[in-house]
A and B are shown apart, each in its own frame.
Chain A
């Protein structure tokens, strides 16, 4: 079975400072990894995804994530955050192409401080 652990439920960070949101996964098979962002009362928007190849994945809005197989991690980073980045961020794992289910972590709320 697949699972995702997001270690931080909330992360406060000052505007223009760097941020890292942590994500660890567990799976017995090859997986695809995702980060989604959810703004209040809205659906989910895909930030980036890792399927294979380069372990450093670049996404939208200046975010990037690094897949680390040995540490089973897929941490999300941004070098300089903006107030508009305030949202809930979900790490997710899937075996897309098999049963296509996406399993989500509990989410990390990013608070941008002025």
Chain B
């Protein structure tokens, strides 16, 4: 199946700094990618839809100035957590759909564990 690679797999940063997480589709092009956030022992919450060549679409309650998304090419989307604080510590996962219509399938990255100290 298709592969989505997320980098880094884990990162520790100081409070107030910014962290960039990359999501790459390795063997297919993705005009759309999705970013999720997962708190410990909880489900994945959709944060935003990343659209190649246009602005990201954020879900209600997600601060777009806090979580900057850039979909620079058909194989790369980045999520930047700006001025990170301990409450931003979480597991972030990206996904990318491939195929069309009923043949569409979503593939997930391996996730990035962010710890803000």
Contacts and interface: CB of A to CB of B under 8 A. Distances in A.
A101 B49 contact: yes
B106 A96 contact: yes
Chain B, interface SS category: strand
Contact of B93 (A32, A44, A101, A107): A44
Question: Which of the four size classes fits the interface of chain A?
Answer: 20 to 34
Interface in B71-114: 91, 93, 95, 97, 100-102, 104-106, 108-111, 113
A41 interface: yes
B111 A97 contact: no
A55 interface: no
A97 B93 contact: no
Contacts, number: 60
B54 interface: no
Nearest to B1: A46
A90 B106 CA distance: 14
Contacts of B43: 90, 104-107
21 contacts: A32-B102, A36-B108, A42-B111, A43-B93, A44-B93, A46-B105, A51-B102, A52-B102, A90-B43, A96-B104, A96-B106, A97-B101, A97-B104, A100-B34, A101-B34, A101-B49, A102-B95, A104-B43, A104-B44, A107-B41, A109-B41
